[in-house]
Amino acid sequence: MVKQPLFSDGDASDLGYVNVRKADNEYTGPARAHCEWLWDHFERYADPEFLIEIRKNFDARYWEMYLTVYLISKGHKVDCPKPGPDVGIEVDGRRVWFEATTLTRGDDGKPDQVPPKPEPGKAYTVPNEKMLLRYLNGISTKRAQHSSWVKNGFVKPEDALIVAINPRCLGYEHADTTPPRILQAAFAVGDPYFVLNRDTMKVVDAGYHVRNVIKKASEAEVTNGVFLQEQYAHLSGLLCSRVDCVNRPEKMGLDFQLAPNPHAKAPLPQSFRLDGTYYRVSENHDSSYSVAPEQL
């Protein structure tokens, strides 16, 4: 197979692609070299439309490429069926599929769109619920695709499925919140609360409110907590990363957040781990959950 360049001349509608292609400053120069290194390892697995699509949707295709090359770097033999999920590996005799999704701010002019981030130096409120709606939308879209893959035989019902989310394009995702948004979307976790003793002014209790639904601007309610819903029982876990070609950890995967679904019909293999943070989930006697982060 004749190798094709990742970046080439010609029209491209995505400014990210255009700027990295130029490689004319201290940020885009290393970014282009990094992308071309990824492409050297990924090209053989790319679908026929990849080089066309990356010119129109650079961040999404970059995330798909980065995730696949990360798995290769960990020694996994990857499978990238066309059509089907983005990438699959085998762990302890089980097939684990990854489907990558890059979140967008939503349609222009719609009231639920995540607003642009203000200019540096200006105070602002992070639109957390609008951001969570984008998480839920991205996960829901992949749920619909999974049903089609199973129906057409690309994925077996016993295969594990991880939806790999990259929310960087939302604009406020340079840092996470407490609790992490991936857990807010997975377990219907809301804002933190503290109970003070009025006499001593000491904290006597603390926890998180439950956020079972999120209201859209139209007052329509979107059910939160995908791990608690039967329709998402095929979902084995959620992976989150905020990596992009300029802003990335020195070690691949170091910013990964992996949360397993305790109610999955095809749970993740017990030994399965990635770099970054793994959220160990255990159910309590009162049907609540304890989540303990493990740094790997």
Q: What is the pTM of this model?
A: 0.93
Is residue 185 within 8 Å of 229, Cβ to Cβ?
A: no
For residues 274 and 252, the answer to whether their CB atoms sit within 8 Å is no
For 32, 68, 147, the CA distances from 143, given in Å and listed in that order, are 33, 20, 7
Radius of gyration of the chain from its Cα atoms, rounded to whole angstroms: 20
What is the residue-averaged pLDDT of the chain?
93
- In this prediction, residue 1 has a pLDDT band, given cuts at 50, 70 and 90, of low
Identify the H or E element spanning 160.
strand 160-166
CA distances from 225 to 116, 262, 280 (A): 26, 12, 17
Question: What residues form DSSP beta bridges with 192?
Answer: 208
100 sits in the region (left: phi over 0; alpha: psi -120 to 50; else beta) called beta
Q: What percent of the chain has pLDDT over 70?
A: 99
Q: State phi, psi for 211 to the nearest 5 degrees.
A: -120, 85
Sorted by where each begins, the domain ranges of the chain are 83-295
Check: CB of residue 13 under 8 Å from CB of residue 56. yes
pLDDT digits (tens, 9 = 90+) for 60-73: 999 999 999 999 99
Count of H helices and E strands in the chain? 6, 11
- Residues in CB range of 38: below 8 A, 6 or more apart: 62, 65, 66, 69
Residue 208 pLDDT: 82
